[in-house]
Structure 1
Amino acid sequence: MLLAVLIANSVGNILVERFHGVPAEERLHWRSFLVKLGADNLKGAKNEELYVASHKSVYIVYTVLGDVAVYVVGKDEYDELALAEVIFVITSAIKDACGKAPTERLFLDKYGKICLCLDEIVWTGILENTEKDRIKRLIRLKPPNEF
């Protein structure tokens, strides 16, 4: 299961978060842990260079994209390789929505579209869509043609 998808700015403020199957009392711990992890390791990181960690029997894959950091947390079948695919889809959706690697301002300008993309990529802790064209079609709120 995908436990969390978090996107934070360069100073550690959470811009978007999606938790699945994580009790409310544990969410603060995960927020602070992930932001600290990024603060320790992402200084000077290249765009879309993947970093991997594990904590409490879960896997964490994170990266920098422009001025934002993207964190994906998973367990069980969502190991490092599966999370790498998830984070690739998320970063490419963000780049498509923004037109390039985002600054914080550009990210916030495209916030609604990015949230729609995240909802189409991950639904209730399961990776739903990985195809860029399908995600674009779904966020336009038109029914898919293949049915």
Structure 2
Amino acid sequence: MLLAVLIANSEGNILVERFNGVPAEERLHWRTFLVKLGADNLKGVKNEELLVANHKSVYIVYTVLGDVSIFVVGKDEYDELALSEAIFVITTALKDVCGKAPTERLFLDKYGKICLCLDEIVWKGLLENTDKDRIKRLVRLKPPTEF
């Protein structure tokens, strides 16, 4: 299960978070842990260079894209390899929506469309859509023309 997708700015402020199957009382722990993990390890990392961590029997894959940090947390069948695929789809969708690696301002300008993309990529803790063109079609908010 994909437990969390979290996107933060360079100062550690959370811009978007999606938790699945994580009790509300544990979410603060995960927020602070992931932001601290990023602050400690993401200095000087190139765009889309993946870093991997393990904490409390879950896997964490994280990276930097422009001015934002992206964290994906999973357990069981979502190991490092599956999470790297998930984070690749997320970074590709972010670049498509923003047109380039996002600055914080551009990210916030495109916030609604980014949230729609995340909802299409991860559904109830499962990696749902990985095809870039399908995601673009699903977030158009127009009725489908093909069945």
- Tell me the TM-score normalised to structure 2 length: 0.98
* SS of corresponding position for 1:16: strand
Q: Deviations over 1:65-89 (max 9, x none)?
A: 0000000000000000000000000
Separation in 2 of the partners of 1:144 and 1:131?
16
Local SS of the residue matching 2:43: coil
Measure, in 1, the Cα distance between the counterparts of 2:146 and 2:82: 26
Structure 1 residue ranges without an equivalent (≥5): none
Equivalent residue number for residue 9 of structure 2? 9
Q: Shift of the alpha carbon at 1:105?
A: 0.3
Q: CA separation in 2, counterparts of 1:70 and 1:106? A: 15
Matches within 5 A, 1:1-147: 1-147=1-147
Aligned mates of 2:92, 2:2 — CA distance in 1: 18
Residue 145 of structure 1, CA deviation:
4.3
In 1: Cα distance, 2:3 partner to 2:54 partner? 13
4+ residue segments displaced more than 3 Å: 143-146
Residue by residue over 1:92-129, the C-alpha shift from the partner in whole angstroms, topping out at 9 and shown as x without a partner, is 00000000000000000000000000000000100000
- Aligned residue pairs total 147
Unaligned stretches of 5+ residues in structure 2: none
Letter in 1 for 2:123: W
C-alpha displacement of 1:143: 3.9
Amino acid at match of 1:2: L
Distance (whole Å) between structure 2 residues aligned to residue 97 and residue 141 of structure 1: 14
Identical pairs, percent: 87
What is the alpha-carbon distance in structure 1 between the residues aligned to residue 98 and residue 15 of structure 2? 15
> Helix, strand or coil: the match of 1:60?
strand
Per-residue deviation at 1:40?
A: 0.3
Q: CA offsets, 1:43-86, max 9 Å, x none? A: 01100000000000000000000000000000000000000000
Amino acid at match of 1:97: V
